[in-house]
Structure formats: structure tokens, C-alpha cells
């Protein structure tokens, strides 16, 4: 039974390392301890939850914490399955402090004896990124070639791409390796740009790790089944099957995974052409959804992926098999939305081309796609010329006579050009300090607010985040961490004060999952049952939940939200509210009042809505003793 959290501290500047222990009473997992270390030491942390290696499905996420270069605040990001191999190092967390003088690979191995072998090995990373499969993929191959034979069991490799070197939105990628075979199932800690932090602040471009350490993970299925039966009258596997059906296969809609289920059910809530569809009529939107998405984009996905049962896991044994594949391409809703309809792409071949290039270059795909859609919109509106952005063409965004295959491909090729232009800083492009700062400089020069067309959440002086791809008020809430699901994204109208409170409550629930290293796709039982398991196994349910509340208020105490800077953010909210009345027939009197205010003065109404939401957040997360 782990009664300590063991942290391996590595200074890439010197190669110096040591192990520290933190008692399992104040810090219970990778988030509360990680945020503590990040604020004390300025470290970047990689940790697993207490149930890593256990029989609980979804318990092996690798959780990254630190200061986010794009959000400009503390952030939490995680990737599926990568915690399973990490657990074999016999530590709970790796913490980087200091910066390697040249780009380097961090090698960690616990195969021979008690100590972890630690090496910091320089690599010519720019050359590697240009070679072979390019970017994150060729770096994976190279690191495996360099170190793979030193591990008796399959290791795991975390890698970054050129985006981490040249922008603030570089993610961290990893694929499962099975019996020496590197798979195509990308898993990402994308949001928050921790790849950029790893490269620019710590000099580490990749981390390879593995070992043979076996610790006492919880593996008693009879006891687990007993807990599940008491609570749900179902065994663990039965309850998990039920809770994860959306991600595997949802019979009600005849498809599966986030891509399948979201596109099958969104109808008139579709977002396309850099959100311009929010200004369309419902009929125009549903026609677009039916003709472009259901009849083509989604149909291709269903035929090639769902019917053909092309699915995999993130690397841990999991019945949800949420990774929906087509050959080397993995299809999740949000990347295939931002680098799909949001960029004017409605064909799988075209979306694969753009997503694959963006992934290879190591971008957080949601932020990357949001930015590409914005730049295309600016070009289409003639606010910027292709030459200014170092590209050769304009987008084809006219839906009349739109050729689903060829025009999608044209837009995807433009997206690929823009990615290269961002990395090479062609024309006026330079996103090293983020898009907000860039927009401030160039809006002044152009005499027009370029960011008025970007949908983003602003934080602090220059922090920014492309929101999750749901047309709802919660996606733009002024929470201390945005861009992941620390908010409510239900399609209901929720009065802003209450919305703020609900977002705060949601954040606490999501923190339970993250702090236990749990995959949120299992939240249907995990957020309720696992605190009780903490009580049964470690006698610390109340302390754990209390620490979780403290963590939430600690994150909130550093909240520096900025009122929506972009007109399109305001329109995003306004049109959402209008749609609730006009299409969903919501007769809530408070909704009518808000719409009245928007009619009188939309900026003032939005400001009041924003502050009301913040009040709800604040009153729920402020700590009183």
C-alpha cells in the first residue's frame, strides 16, 4: 500500500536527480502535488494516480501539470494509457526543474536494481523532425532506435514536434508500443501547450521510460465487484460497459466514439467556417449538417471505421476502445472538427491530410485548428492577403456549388501551408508569444481588430485558449482552467450565476478524476465510487475530498479571467441564447430578460453575463473557514 508519493526530481541542466517523498495525507495525486511543486519550484510534472496498474479501467492516465505557456496560468493536461508503463518506474511523479543547454532526450529506466537510471542525451532534433515520418513520429522512431533495446519490457516515449520549439501551443504525444511495435494510436496531452514548456523551458524534446518494478496495485476483482454491486447492482465490467457506451458504440445513433456520436446528434448546432454558421438560419445549418456531414463526412467515418470495427485503446486494457481508427489516422471529434468543418473541410481524406500534418508538427490540435480557421476567415474576408501569411491560395468557403472532395482538399492543403508558415514565421506570422499578442500588434497596424474573428478565451495579459467545440455558454466560462472540461457544456440555458456555480462543481468532479489519474470517459461511475474506494482502501475519503476542494480553490485563487475580447465570442453566446428560444423553444423568463438586454446593447449584456457567471464561480470556489 503506497503511503507516500515518490517524486523523481530531475534537473536537465546538470543531469542531477534525487527522489523525494510526500506523505499521502496532504497531497493525494498528480494534480494536487503537481500544482504544489509547480508553484514552489517552477517545475513541469508528470504523474500517475493512486490506482495506476489497478484493475479499474481508465486508471492509467499520465497527468501533466505546470505553468502553461499559452494559457499563462497553471494547467492540467493528460494522456491515456501512458501511466501504465510509468507505474513500472516505481515512482508516482517525475518533476523537471532547470533547463538542458541543448535539446535533449530524457532517458529513465528501472530495470536493473533499486535505482532509476537517468540520462540526459543531446539530439539533433531539428534534423530528426525533418526526417522519416516527420515531426513527432520520426522523433518517436529515433528515440526508440537509440534506447529501445535497453528495456526488457516495452517502454513508452513522450515526444514533441516543431510546434513546441516555435509556438506556445505545442503538445506532448505518445503512442503505445506493443512487443516492439510502435502503434499508430496517438495519445496526446495537447491542451495547455506543455510540449512548448518542455522544450522551451526545460530543454527536453522527448522522454523515454519503462521498468520492471512491480508494486502492490489493487487487483482484487471480487472486492471491486462487491463495491459495484452495492452501489449499482452491477459488476465492475457491466457498469463500465454501460458507462462507456458513447465511446464504444451507441446503438441509439448507430455509431460510436466522440466523432461519430457528436456528428450524428448535433443537427443545427453544427459549427463550421470559423463559426460563421452561428449567423445562419437553422434551416441553412441543418441542410449543411445533413448534406455535408451526415451524407458524407460522417458516412465515410461510419463505413471505414465503425462498420469495419477499426478501434483501439490508448494502451490500457479498456472496453471503451474509444480510439477510432482508419489506417494510420485516429479520429476524435475535436481535432476533426477544428480541422474539419471549422476550416471548411467535410471529407475524410482532406481532414486526414491536415490533421496528420498538424499532429506530426506537434500542435495541440484543437488550438491549432481554431487558429487555422481564424486565419482562413481573415483571408476570405480580405483582412489579410495570402502573401502576408506566406501562403499561395485563398480558402474556398463558398457553400454554393461546394465540391465536398476537391474544395475540402483545397482547404486542407491551405491549412498545411499555414502550419508550415507558422513554423517558419513566414510573412507577418509569429506566434511565439501567442496569438493575442500577435493580434494586438497587427490589429494596430491594420486598423482592424483581427481577433474579433477568433473565438477564444482570454486569460491574464496574453493567455489564450481555443474553446471546446460545443456551441454552449459554458465553453466560454471564466474559469481558472479552460479548454478542457472544467465547465458545464450542456446545451441547456442555465442562468449565468447558476452556470458559474455548476462549472465550479464540475471542476471539482473533474479534479477528482484527474487527481486519481482517471480517464473521464469512465466518469459515469469513477467520480462517485472512487472516493469511497479511497475510504475503503486507505481510510482517507474525507481527507481526499477536502484536499480536492482546497485544490479547486487554490487554482481559482489565481484566476485572472479577461472579459471576452472578441466580438465573435459575444456573438457566439448571443446566438446560442437566441437559438434556445427560437429553435429549442425554451420559455425560461430569465432567458427572455437576457435576450432583451442583448438587443439593447450586446457588449454590455455580455459583460453582465460574464460577471454573473464569474460571481457564481467565485462564490462556489472561495474558501471560507
- Which residues of this chain interact with ligand SF4, rule CB under 6 A? 58, 80-81, 247, 313-314, 316, 318, 320, 322, 519, 521
Q: Residue 360 CA to chain centroid, in angstroms?
A: 16
Least distance (Å) between residue 173 CB and ligand SF4 = 14
Nearer to ligand SF4 by Cβ, of 162 and 517: the residue is: 517
Nearer to ligand SF4 by Cβ, of 310 and 620: the residue is: 310
Q: Write down how long the chain is.
A: 625
Nearer to ligand SF4 by Cβ, of 110 and 191: the residue is: 191
Rounded to an integer, what distance in angstroms lies between the CA atom of residue 219 and that of residue 215?
11
Least distance (Å) between residue 521 CB and ligand SF4 = 4
Q: Residue 578 CA to chain centroid, in angstroms?
A: 29
Helix (H) or strand (E) holding 110: strand 104-110
User: b vs e for 361-384, b when ≥16 Cβ sit within 10 Å of the residue's Cβ?
Assistant: bbbbbbbbbbbbbbbbbbbbeebb
Nearer to ligand SF4 by Cβ, of 157 and 314: the residue is: 314
Least distance (Å) between residue 345 CB and ligand SF4 = 25
Least distance (Å) between residue 184 CB and ligand SF4 = 14
Least distance (Å) between residue 80 CB and ligand SF4 = 3
Q: What is the DSSP string of 274-341?
A: TTGGGGS-HHHHHHHIIIIIIIIIHHHHIIIIITTT-EE-SSS--TT--EEEETTEEE-HHHHHHTTG
Rounded to an integer, what distance in angstroms lies between the CA atom of residue 299 and that of residue 105?
42
SS3 447: coil
Least distance (Å) between residue 264 CB and ligand SF4 = 19
**Angle in degrees, 0-180, between the axes of helices 406-424 and 348-360, rounded to the nearest 10:** 10
Nearer to ligand SF4 by Cβ, of 58 and 155: the residue is: 58
Least distance (Å) between residue 175 CB and ligand SF4 = 13
Nearer to ligand SF4 by Cβ, of 53 and 81: the residue is: 81
Nearer to ligand SF4 by Cβ, of 316 and 527: the residue is: 316
Phi, psi of 169, rounded to the nearest 5 degrees: -120, 35
Least distance (Å) between residue 503 CB and ligand SF4 = 23
Nearer to ligand SF4 by Cβ, of 339 and 526: the residue is: 526
SS3 406: helix
Q: Residue 96 CA to chain centroid, in angstroms?
A: 21
Least distance (Å) between residue 361 CB and ligand SF4 = 23
Q: Which residues pair with 261 in a beta bridge?
A: none
Least distance (Å) between residue 247 CB and ligand SF4 = 5
Nearer to ligand SF4 by Cβ, of 311 and 411: the residue is: 311
Q: Which residues pair with 75 in a beta bridge?
A: 66
Least distance (Å) between residue 323 CB and ligand SF4 = 6
Nearer to ligand SF4 by Cβ, of 229 and 248: the residue is: 248
Contact of 502 with 494, CB cutoff 8 Å? yes
Nearer to ligand SF4 by Cβ, of 35 and 79: the residue is: 79
Rounded to an integer, what distance in angstroms lies between the CA atom of residue 481 and that of residue 38?
15
Least distance (Å) between residue 330 CB and ligand SF4 = 11
Nearest to 275 by CA among 352, 336, 338, 333: 338
Least distance (Å) between residue 36 CB and ligand SF4 = 26
Rounded to an integer, what distance in angstroms lies between the CA atom of residue 96 and that of residue 114?
21
Q: Which residues pair with 207 in a beta bridge?
A: 106, 158
CA angle 401, 348, 271 (to 5 degrees): 65
Nearer to ligand SF4 by Cβ, of 104 and 337: the residue is: 337
User: b vs e for 447-461, b when ≥16 Cβ sit within 10 Å of the residue's Cβ?
Assistant: eebbbbbbbbbbbee
**How does strand 117-122 pair with strand 104-110?**
antiparallel
Nearer to ligand SF4 by Cβ, of 245 and 578: the residue is: 245
Phi, psi of 72, rounded to the nearest 5 degrees: 65, 35
Burial of 354 (0-12, 13-18, 19+ CB in 10 A): buried
CA angle 320, 325, 328 (to 5 degrees): 140
Amino acid at each position: 500500500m503506497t503511503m507516500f508519493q515518490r517524486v523523481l526530481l530531475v534537473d536537465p541542466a546538470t543531469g542531477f536527480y534525487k527522489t523525494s517523498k510526500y506523505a499521502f495525507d496532504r497531497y493525494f495525486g498528480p494534480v494536487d502535488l503537481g500544482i504544489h511543486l509547480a508553484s514552489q519550484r517552477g517545475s513541469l510534472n508528470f504523474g500517475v494516480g493512486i490506482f495506476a496498474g489497478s484493475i479499474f479501467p481508465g486508471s492509467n492516465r499520465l497527468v501533466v501539470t505546470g505553468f502553461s505557456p499559452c494559457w499563462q496560468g497553471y494547467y492540467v493536461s493528460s494522456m491515456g494509457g501512458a501511466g501504465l508503463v510509468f507505474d513500472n518506474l516505481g515512482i508516482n511523479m517525475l518533476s523537471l526543474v532547470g533547463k538542458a543547454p541543448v535539446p535533449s532526450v530524457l532517458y529513465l529506466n528501472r530495470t536493473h536494481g533499486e535505482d532509476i537510471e537517468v540520462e540526459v542525451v543531446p539530439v539533433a532534433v531539428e534534423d530528426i523532425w525533418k526526417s522519416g515520418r516527420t515531426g513527432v513520429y520520426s522523433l518517436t522512431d529515433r528515440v526508440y532506435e537509440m534506447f529501445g533495446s535497453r528495456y526488457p519490457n516495452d517502454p513508452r516515449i513522450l515526444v514533441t514536434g516543431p510546434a513546441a520549439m516555435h509556438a506556445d501551443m505545442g503538445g506532448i504525444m505518445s503512442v503505445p508500443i506493443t512487443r516492439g511495435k510502435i502503434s499508430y494510436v496517438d495519445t496526446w496531452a495537447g491542451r495547455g501547450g506543455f510540449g512548448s514548456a518542455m522544450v522551451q523551458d526545460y530543454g527536453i524534446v522527448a522522454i523515454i521510460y519503462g521498468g520492471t518494478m512491480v508494486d502492490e496495485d489493487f487487483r482484487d476483482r471480487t472486492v471491486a465487484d462487491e463495491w459495484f454491486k452495492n452501489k449499482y447492482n452491477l459488476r465492475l465490467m457491466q457498469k463500465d460497459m454501460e458507462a462507456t457506451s458513447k465511446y464504444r458504440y451507441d446503438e441509439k445513433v448507430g455509431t460510436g466514439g466522440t466523432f461519430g456520436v457528436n456528428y450524428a446528434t448535433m443537427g443545427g448546432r453544427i459549427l463550421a467556417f470559423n463559426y460563421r454558421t452561428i449567423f445562419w438560419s437553422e434551416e441553412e445549418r441543418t441542410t449543411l449538417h445533413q448534406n455535408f456531414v451526415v451524407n458524407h463526412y460522417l458516412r465515410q467515418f461510419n463505413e471505414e471505421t465503425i462498420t469495419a470495427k477499426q478501434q483501439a485503446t490508448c494502451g490500457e486494457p479498456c472496453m471503451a476502445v474509444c480510439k477510432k481508427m482508419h489506417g494510420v489516422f485516429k479520429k476524435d471529434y475535436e481535432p476533426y472538427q477544428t480541422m474539419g468543418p471549422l476550416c471548411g473541410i467535410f471529407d475524410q481524406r482532406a481532414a486526414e491530410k491536415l490533421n496528420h500534418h498538424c499532429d506530426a508538427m506537434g500542435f495541440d490540435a484543437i488550438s491549432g485548428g481554431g487558429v487555422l480557421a481564424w486565419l482562413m476567415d481573415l483571408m476570405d474576408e480580405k483582412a489579410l492577403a495570402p502573401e502576408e501569411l506566406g501562403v499561395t491560395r485563398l480558402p474556398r468557403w463558398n457553400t454554393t456549388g461546394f465540391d465536398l472532395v476537391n474544395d475540402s482538399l483545397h482547404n486542407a492543403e491551405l491549412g498545411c501551408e499555414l502550419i508550415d508558415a507558422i513554423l517558419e514565421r513566414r510573412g507577418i506570422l509569429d506566434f511565439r508569444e501567442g496569438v493575442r499578442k500577435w493580434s494586438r500588434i497587427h490589429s494596430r497596424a491594420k486598423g482592424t481588430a483581427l481577433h474579433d474573428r477568433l473565438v477564444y478565451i482570454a486569460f491574464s495579459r496574453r493567455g489564450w485558449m481555443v474553446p471546446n467545440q460545443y456551441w454552449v455558454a459554458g465553453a466560454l466560462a471564466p474559469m481558472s482552467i479552460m479548454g478542457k472540461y472544467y465547465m458545464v457544456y450542456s446545451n441547456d440555458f442555465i442562468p449565468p450565476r447558476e452556470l458559474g456555480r455548476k462549472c465550479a462543481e464540475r471542476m471539482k468532479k473533474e479534479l477528482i478524476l484527474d487527481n486519481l489519474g482517471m480517464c473521464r470517459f469512465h466518469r459515469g461511475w469513477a467520480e462517485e465510487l472512487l472516493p469511497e474506494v479511497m475510504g475503503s482502501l486507505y481510510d482517507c475519503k474525507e481527507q481526499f475530498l477536502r484536499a480536492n476542494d482546497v485544490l479547486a480553490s487554490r487554482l481559482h485563487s489565481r484566476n485572472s479571467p479577461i472579459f471576452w475580447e472578441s466580438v465573435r465570442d459575444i456573438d457566439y453566446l448571443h446566438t446560442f441564447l437566441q437559438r434556445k428560444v427560437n429553435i429549442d423553444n425554451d420559455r425560461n423568463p430569465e432567458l427572455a430578460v437576457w435576450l432583451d438586454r442583448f438587443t439593447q446593447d450586446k457588449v454590455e449584456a455580455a459583460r453582465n453575463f460574464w460577471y454573473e457567471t464569474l460571481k457564481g464561480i467565485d462564490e462556489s470556489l472561495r474558501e471560507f473557514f
